[in-house]
Amino acid sequence: MKPILNIAAYLFVSLDDLSALRSKMLDECNARELKGTILLTGEGINLFLAGKEDALRGFLEWLRTDSRFAPLEAKESWSEQQPFKKMLIKIKAEIIRMNHPAIRPEEGRANFITPKKLQEWLDRGTDDLGRPVVMLDTRNAFEVDYGTFENALHFNIQKFTEFPKAIAAHKEQLADKTVVSFCTGGIRCEKSGLYMREIGMEHSYQLEGGILKYFEEVGSAHYQGSCFVFDQREALEPTLDSIPFEASNRKNLKVS
């Protein structure tokens, strides 16, 4: 087994003591020689960390002793080397910026689909009710270039704040389809899924755990290329091993 454990995790939960949390978390991470990035916001936490297995699992155990973080689940992968240069904890306004304050995942999630159930739908080409399934990539354009689901739609956005306007413009086009939104680890879809429901897209779902969870449970089925990640590994292949960018892995359908 490779020596460095990498985790990605997020949780939407109300937080009001951000400066104190930042100080405590930074002390714990530094004591365990962890590196990576943690975002703290009033709406929750988002983290990407790497380090030795015992140290990283110890940090998660410590974090979950705070009842607010007890439900936190992490997606795991392994690497030969530490993919982060330093340990950063930042205080932000939103975990993932969308500029729609009425969208609050903590108060209720959109409908989601598990990776294995999604594979069933994609194998068949329809959902359980016989509706055509459309995969919707909510990531930024450069991330999509590394890889995406076969025939996935995307809007060539440069930042997530552009997504609401883009999906609203294509609402009618997708009205007779079942739409499954996805992103790297699921966090963007917590908001995109709620927004699609808000604008009346009743047959919309989010992929639970995003691409990384799909790789973990399903592998490469119906996926082409690799998945960009925000550390020095650059991208992961469906085996969750790091892989260099391949220009040939750019087969997706852009919605103009």
- Beta-strand pair 112-113/44-52: unpaired
State whether residue 60 is helix, strand or coil.
helix
Residue type, 160: F
What number of helices (H) and strands (E) belong to the chain? 7, 15
Annotated catalytic, 183?
yes
Residue type, 180: V
Catalytic residue among 29, 183, 189, 227: 183
| Contact residues for 176 (Cβ-Cβ < 8 A; gap 6+) | 131, 132
Report the distance separating Cα 189 and Cα 137, nearest Å. Answer: 9
State whether residue 235 is helix, strand or coil.
strand
| Contact residues for 157 (Cβ-Cβ < 8 A; gap 6+) | 140, 141, 163, 166
Closest C-alpha to 182, from 214, 226, 218, 216: 214
Label residue 24 exposed, middle or buried (CB < 10 Å: 0-12, 13-18, 19+): middle
What residues form DSSP beta bridges with 103?
Answer: none
Mind telling me the catalytic residues? 183
